[in-house]
Each structure stands twice: as C-alpha cells, then as structure tokens.
Amino acid sequence: MSLNYIKNFYEGCLRPPTVIGQFHTLFFGSVRMFFLGVLGFAVYGNEALHFSCDPDRRELNLFCYNQFRPITPQVFWALQMVSVLVPGAVFHLYAACKNINQEEILERPLYTVFYIISVLLRIILEVIAFWLQSHLFGFQVLPLFMCDASALERKFNVTKCMVPEHFEKTIFLSAMYTFTIITITLCVAEIFEILCRRLGYLNNH
C-alpha cells in the first residue's frame, strides 16, 4: 500500500492535472535547475577565492566578502526552489494519501480549491523571493565594492574590493529574475486554466 502512495505522489508531482502545470514542471525541473546547477557553479563557484581588497590580506578579504555576500546566491536560489516546490509537494502528498486521481482534482470543488491554494502559495513564495533577491543582490553587480572594515581594524576604515566577473554575474542575475517572472506568469496562467476547465466541466453537467 505504501508503494502505491509513493507511486501516486511521484506521478502527481511529475504530471499535474493542468497542461500549464505540466509545462511548469518541465520548465522548473529541467531548465531552471540545470541553469542554476551548471552555470551557477561556473559563475559563482570560486567567487570568494577571487574576491580581493586593498590591501590584499586574507582576513580582510573574508571580512569584506561576508559583508558583500550575507548569503551566497547559489544557496539563496536553492532555498527559493525548494520552498516553491513545497506547496505542490504537500498537495500531491495529500492527494496520494487520499488516493485521488489527477482527473478528480478538477472535478471535485474541494480538491480544486486546495490545488488553487497550492498554486497561489507558489506565487506568493516567488514574489517574496523576487523581493528578497532585489534587496540582497540588487539588479546589477558593480566591479567595485566599498567595504566598511573599521570593525576589523580601525586603520582600514573604508576599503575598495574588486568583484570578479561582475558582468557575467549581472547577466546571470538578470536570468534568475527572468526565471522568477516566467514562473509567476505560468502559475497565474495555470489558475486561469483551472477556472476555465472547471467552468467547462460545470457547463457539461
């Protein structure tokens, strides 16, 4: 019986009840994860090693890098992707435990409402992630970062730090904003598809 739950949960996550939901799964699961996993490591993988300040001292470089990056972009985007997956995963786990087929989700009002709530939660989480990303990383990576290192040693005061490959990071940052906007758009479109199909189902009955 437990194997059936796992099978139903797996199929529900891979094949949502809507066409747009299936496209979202494909886009989210393959393109976005590949982009972050492969290109994200290439762009940000050795950032801390090549981040240098004047004077070029290890403790100063580490201190200023932590000021420059309170959280590394890879960790932030990984947390974003996991959090966005949670509402859908919880719904499909509920559907698997209740033995609900994907076709039934749009036929029964209660299941439809629960599914719409899970999509709305995804939208809210993506909007929060967009807002946090804009505050943590901005929209452009500048070649110089002015670091306040007075807490480390008074003689340092404000020091200049070189940000490696700033142009590549700006492009990657723009791409991650674009992915977030595409995901939000797909979620909104999925809600419209659910409502249209639900209305069509009611008209046929």
pLDDT of residue 1 exceeding 50: no
pLDDT of residue 36 exceeding 50: yes
CB atoms within 10 A of CB 65: 20
Of residues 179 and 103, more confidence is placed in: 179
Q: How far apart are CA 2 and CA 90, in angstroms?
A: 17
Quickly list H helices, 53-205. 58-68, 73-97, 102-105, 109-137, 166-204
pLDDT of residue 2 exceeding 80: no
Cβ-proximal residues to 21 (8 Å cutoff; 6+ apart), any chain: 119, 190, 193
Three-state secondary-structure class, residue 15: coil
Mean pLDDT of the chain: 81
Q: What percent of the chain has pLDDT over 90?
A: 12
pLDDT tens readout for residues 86-135: 888 888 777 777 777 777 777 778 888 888 999 999 999 999 999 999 99
Cβ-proximal residues to 187 (8 Å cutoff; 6+ apart), any chain: 24, 119, 120, 122, 123, 126
pLDDT of residue 78 exceeding 80: yes
Cβ-proximal residues to 150 (8 Å cutoff; 6+ apart), any chain: 156, 157, 158
Q: How far is CA 44 from CA 67, 75, 97, 147, 151, in A?
A: 16, 11, 41, 20, 27
Looking at residue 40, its pLDDT comes to: 78
Looking at residue 3, its pLDDT comes to: 53
pLDDT of residue 169 exceeding 80: yes
Sheet containing 158-162: which strands, arranged edge to edge? 52-53, 158-162, 144-148
